[in-house]
Amino acid sequence: MKLFGSSLYGQALRAVSVGAALMLSASTVHAQANGPFAGFAGSWTGTGTVALSNGTTERIRCKADYKVAPSGMNLKQSLHCASDSYKFDLSSDVTSQGDRISGNWSEASRNIFGNLQGTAGGGRIDVFVEASGFAANLNLQTNGSKQVVQIDSKGEIRGVTITMTKT
C-alpha cells in the first residue's frame, strides 16, 4: 500500500509541477501581450501637422518603428518625420517599472539628447522629455491598428500631431 501511495504521490507531484510550469508560462505570455507597451510593436506610417515657433503650420509624413523586448518591459522607438522644409528624427530607449517608465531619447538632426519619464499602459504612453534648453510632452495613443502621436513644446517645434496606421 505504501508503494502505491508513493506512486500516486509522485504522479500528483509531477502533475502539479507541470500545471505550475504551464501557468507560469501562460502568465509570462500574458504579461508580454498585456505589458505597458502592448500594441506598439511594429512599423507605422502616417501624416500629420507640425506647428513651428514662427507661427507656420506644415503637413508632415512620418514613419515609426517600435521594438518591444520579449519581457514586454522595454521599448525602442524611432520616429522619422519630414515636411517640405522641416524634419526630425526621434529615437528613444525606454524601460518600465510597472506603469512608470523612464529612459533616454535623442533627436539626430539637431544632435539633442536627454531623459524621459512618465507612464505607459492600456495602449497609451505619456512622457515628459527634457534636454539642455528643451522640454516637451509626448503622448502616444494606440488603438488596434491606429496610433496618434502628440508633441507639445515651447521650442522651435510648438506642436506636432500625427495619425499613423500599422503597416
* pLDDT per residue as tens digits for the range 14-39: 333 333 332 332 333 333 456 899 99
List, for residues 106-118, the tens digit of each pLDDT value.
Answer: 999 888 999 999 9
2: pLDDT strictly greater than 80: no
Strands 74-82 and 87-97: antiparallel
pLDDT at 34: 63
pLDDT at 31: 38
pLDDT at 33: 54
The pair phi, psi for residue 86, each rounded to 5°, is -145, 145
* Cα–Cα distance for residue pair 80/98, rounded to 1 Å: 28
Q: Which CATH number among 3.40.50.300, 3.40.50.720, 1.10.3720.10, 2.40.128.20 corresponds to the domain 42-166? A: 2.40.128.20
92's CB contacts (< 8 A; 6+ apart) are: 75, 76, 77, 103, 104, 105, 106, 116
